Chains A and B, each alone.
Chain A
Amino acid sequence: SAVISQKPSRDICQRGTSLTIQCQVDSQVTMMFWYRQQPGQSLTLIATANQGSEATYESGFVIDKFPISRPNLTFSTLTVSNMSPEDSSIYLCSVAGTGYEQYFGPGTRLTVT
């Protein structure tokens, strides 16, 4: 399985600011995904990011709030824009395996004050 790293591992941000989260993979992958895990909750898919195309967002998530870049096959970023306390969550990136499974990064713990 791929080795995935995320930066930052955690951050505390003020309301109204933006944070960009980086996801780095040690091998080339076609599909990358971004999830949100709100406190005490399960994971919710934000968007699918394929290299060379626009990200595909799930219902309830919009590009203006969560812009995503995918400049190459090993890297992606997710920006959380104009943050509010409701954005306090763990944000995880993942990559697709060979059999529909996904492998996850360690996550970024975001607290918005």
Chain B
Amino acid sequence: AQSVTQLDSQVPVFEEAPVELRCNYSSSVSVYLFWYVQYPNQGLQLLLKYLSGSTLVESINGFEAEFNKSQTSFHLRKPSVHISDTAEYFCADPSGGSNYKLTFGKGTLLTVNP
């Protein structure tokens, strides 16, 4: 079974600073990985996904994540954050098989301060 570990429960940063949210996975088989974002009082939105191909994946709002097989990591980065990026971020992986179950990390609360 696969699992994901998010190492930081909270990450406070100042506006326009760079940020990295860490996610490590454990799997010996082919890997698919996702980052979801949950803004306050909202549902989950798919931020970006790694399925295959290029190890660097980007989202439309400036976030990117790099799949690193040797370090079993899929860290989320943004070079300059905005206050509107304040949200909970979840790393997730499908457990595979026929039912596409998603296993979520515990989440990282990103708080961007002015």
List A residues at the B interface (Cβ < 8 Å): 1, 31, 33, 41-43, 45, 48, 56, 92, 94, 96-97, 99-107
Question: Can you spell out 11 A-B residue pairs with CB atoms less than 8 angstroms apart?
Answer: A42-B90, A43-B90, A43-B104, A45-B101, A45-B102, A92-B43, A92-B44, A96-B100, A99-B49, A101-B46, A106-B43
What is the distance, in angstroms, from A96's C-beta to the closest C-beta of chain B? Answer: 5
> In the complex, A94 Cα to B94 Cα: how many Å?
13
A103 and B49 in contact, given A42-B105, A48-B99, A48-B101 (Cβ under 8 angstroms): no
For residues 48 through 94 of chain B, which have their beta carbon under 8 Å from a beta carbon of chain A? Answer: 49, 51, 90, 94
What is the distance, in angstroms, from B110's C-beta to the closest C-beta of chain A? Answer: 15
Determine which of A102, A106, A107 lies in contact with B102 in the assembled complex, contact meaning CB atoms within 8 Å. A102
Q: How many A-B residue pairs lie within 8 Å, measured between CB atoms?
A: 50
Is there an interface contact between A100 and B99, defined as CB atoms closer than 8 Å? no
Q: Interface size (B, Cβ < 8 Å)?
A: 20
Is there an interface contact between B105 and A106, defined as CB atoms closer than 8 Å? no
What is the distance, in angstroms, from A80's C-beta to the closest C-beta of chain B? Answer: 18
List B residues at the A interface (Cβ < 8 Å): 32, 34, 36, 42-46, 49, 51, 90, 94, 99-102, 104-107
> In the complex, A15 Cα to B106 Cα: how many Å?
28
Is there an interface contact between B44 and A99, defined as CB atoms closer than 8 Å? no
- Name the residue of chain B whose CB is nearest to the CB of A6: B43
Inter-chain contacts of A101 with B (CB < 8 A): 34, 46, 49
Is there an interface contact between A104 and B45, defined as CB atoms closer than 8 Å? yes
Inter-chain contacts of B106 with A (CB < 8 A): 41-42
A103 and B104 in contact, given A31-B99, A42-B90, A56-B99 (Cβ under 8 angstroms): no
Inter-chain contacts of B101 with A (CB < 8 A): 33, 45, 48
